Amino acid sequence: MALIDTHKLIMSAGEHGDRSQFIEFVSKNCKLYNLRNGYALSTAATANFTRSELATALRSRPYNVNLIIAGYDKEHEGSIYYMDYLASMVKLDFACHGYAAYFLLGLLDRHHKKDMSFEEGMALLKMCTQELKTRFLVGGKFMIKHINQDGVKQIPFIN
């Protein structure tokens, strides 16, 4: 997980070298755009830039990365974009990737609502972590990031 700017995150799954190199490339180019133009890219613009770069790389030096870009814009509020390693992109209400997606997508599909409160979202998150603990030998803590009009904040999660 990497912070693109104060209101955007990018999460990745795939080969470690590809992930770290591509995410650093996207993050630094978004910061360069901000410095040159005096304002940051929107979440949609960041996702489209990322998809374009992933598609360009697909023809010569493909990156084996699946990405989730999440952010908050004042005009469009919160948004989530999912991209696979073939540079296909879709805007979603919720997303997860990796092996855990096999277990969590059904749970999210059943319990997610468009205008959930923060407390309802945390309750759904607890259901997801419980499902992961049931299916995997997962111990320890989970890192939770919350994005709203104030920016990205890390939230303590009680197991």
Contacts of 67 (CB under 8 A, 6+ apart): 10, 11, 12, 50, 54, 81, 82, 83
- In this prediction, the residues of the chain whose per-residue pLDDT falls under 70 are 138, 158-159
pLDDT of residue 159: 62
User: For strand 77-83 and strand 151-155, is the pairing parallel, antiparallel, or unpaired?
Assistant: unpaired
Burial class (CB in 10 A: 0-12, 13-18, 19+), 34: middle
pLDDT of residue 74: 85
Count of residues for the chain?
A: 159
Using DSSP's 3-state secondary structure scheme, residue 29 falls into helix
pLDDT of residue 158: 63
> Domain 2-155 carries which CATH code?
3.60.20.10
pLDDT of residue 119: 93
pLDDT of residue 133: 86
Total-model pTM:
0.90
CA distance 153 to 147: 6
CA distance 145 to 2: 11
pLDDT of residue 134: 87
